[in-house]
Chain A
Amino acid sequence: MSDTKDSFVTDAAHTVPADKEINRRDFLNEITLGALGIAGLGSVAVTYQFFSPNVLFEPSTTFRAGNPDLYPIHSVTFLQDQQVYIVRMPEGFYAVSAVCTHLGCITAWHPEHELIECPCHGSKFKDDGTKVAGPAPRPLPHFAISLTADGELLVDKLQIIKPAQVLKA
C-alpha cells in the first residue's frame, strides 16, 4: 500500500527512473493539450491576420500640392482633402498636419488670432505647429515636402520631419 501508484504502472515503465515516470493517460493528456495549445496559438495568429486588411482603399498619403507660386509669402493654406496646412514663410515652405495630436479632430486656421485652433477640445498651435494651449500632448507634426521634376510641391504624410527643415523657396 505504500506505493499505490506503482500498481498501475506496467513493467516497461520500471525501466525509467522513478522521477521521470509518466503514465499513459498523463502522457496522452499532455500531448493533446500541447497540440491544442499550438493549434490555438495558430488560430489566434490567422484570426489576427484575417482581421488585418492587406489592401486598403484609403486616400494616398503622398500628394501634389500644386505650383509653389500659388502660395503667397506669409500665408497658411488649409488643404481640406489632405488635412494639411501648406505654410509659406520668408525662409521657405513647410507642410503641417491639420490633425490635432489630442484626439484626431481637424483643426482650423484662424487668421484673426494667427493660430491653428481645434474645435473639439480647444487646443491651439502656432503656424509652425508648436503648441500654445490646450490638452494636445504634442506639437503638430511636419510632413516631408519636396519638389517634383516638373516643379510642383510634393507632400508625403508618412514621412515626419523636424520642424527646422524647410523647403527653400
Chain B
Amino acid sequence: MASTFHSALQSLRETKVWKSIFRRGPANTNRTRSLAVFGNLFLHWLPVKVREKSLRVRASYYLGSISFILFVVLFVTGILLMFYYHPAAPHAYRDMKDLQFVVSSGVFLRNLHRLAAHLMVFAVFWHMFHVFYRGGYKPPHEFNWVVGVVLLLVTLFLSYTGYLLPWDQLAFWAVTVGTNIISAMPVVGGKIRFLLLGGNIVGENALLRFYVLHVVILPLVAFLLIGIHFWRVQKDGGLTVKVKDDDGKG
C-alpha cells in the first residue's frame, strides 16, 4: 500500500506539469531543502535555517505566530461575513441579526470573527510585552520593533472600526465616545473627527467609512507590515534568545 502510494507520488513527480511548477528535484539534502525555500514565493522570506533554541516554546511562546494565525482566521471569516452584510443603515443591524439567527453557520462565523478579534488584541499585546521584556527591541531589532508597534496600532484600529459595524447601541456609543476623544486633540481634533465620520454625527457616512477602513485599507496595511515584520526577523538574525538559554548548541 505504502509502496503503491510512493510510486504514484514518484510518477507524479516525473510528469511535465509537476516539473514545470516545482522546477527543483526532491528536497532530500540540506542544499535542495534550502533551494526549495528560496524558490517558493510563499516561503522565500522565511529563514532557510532556524536555530533549534529559537524554536523552543520558551523562546517566543509562538505569540507572533498565534497573532498571525488569528489574523488569517479573521481574514477568512471576515470575507465570509461580507457576503451577508450591507454597510448601510438600517440594513447593517438587521444583517448582523440575520447572521446570528438566519444564515447557516452565520452565528459560528460571526462569533469566530468576534472572538478571534478579541484574542488577537490579547495575543499582540502579550507578544509585545514578551518581546519588550526579552529585550527584543535592542539593536539590530529597533526597526522591527517600530514596525511591531505600528502593527499593534493597526490591530487596535481594526478592532475599533469593526466595533461600529454591528450598528447596535454598544457600537454607536463606543464610536461616539471614541471620536469625541479624537476631537479633544488641539487644533486638528475636530477636523479629524469630521473626516473620520464623514459628518458631524455617527451616521451612515461614518458606518461606510469605518467599513471601508475595516475591510480594505487597514487589512492591506496590516498585510504589508506583517510581510516586512516577518522578513526583518530573518534579516536581523532571528529571534532574541535569553542568554542563559544560549548554550551554543542551537
Contact = CB atoms under 8 A, between A and B. Distances in A.
Those 3 A-B pairs whose CB atoms lie nearest each other, nearest first: A104-B180, A103-B177, A103-B180
Interface in B186-232: 194-195, 198-201, 203-205
Nearest to B173: A105
A44 interface: no
Interface string A10-35: 00000000000000000000000000
Interface string B159-194: 000000000000001001101110000000000001
A103 B199 contact: no
Given A105-B173, A120-B173, A58 B195 contact: no
Given A52-B194, A53-B198, A58 B177 contact: no
Size class of the contact patch on chain A? 10 to 19
Interface of B: 173, 176-177, 179-181, 194-195, 198-201, 203-205
A148 B34 CA distance: 83
B195 A51 contact: yes
Interface string A105-131: 100000000000000100000000000
B177 A105 contact: yes
Nearest to B199: A56
> SS class of chain B's interface: helix, strand, loop or mixed?
helix
Interface in A29-74: 48, 51-53, 56-59
Contacts of A120: 173, 177
B181 A103 contact: yes
Interface in A52-105: 52-53, 56-59, 102-105
Nearest to B177: A103
A104 B199 contact: no
A86 B143 CA distance: 57
Nearest to A104: B180
Q: Which of A48, A53, A104 has the most CB of B within 10 A?
A: A104
A56 B200 CA distance: 9
B176 A58 contact: no
Given A51-B195, A53-B205, A103-B180, 6 more contacts: A48-B195, A51-B198, A53-B199, A58-B203, A105-B176, A120-B177
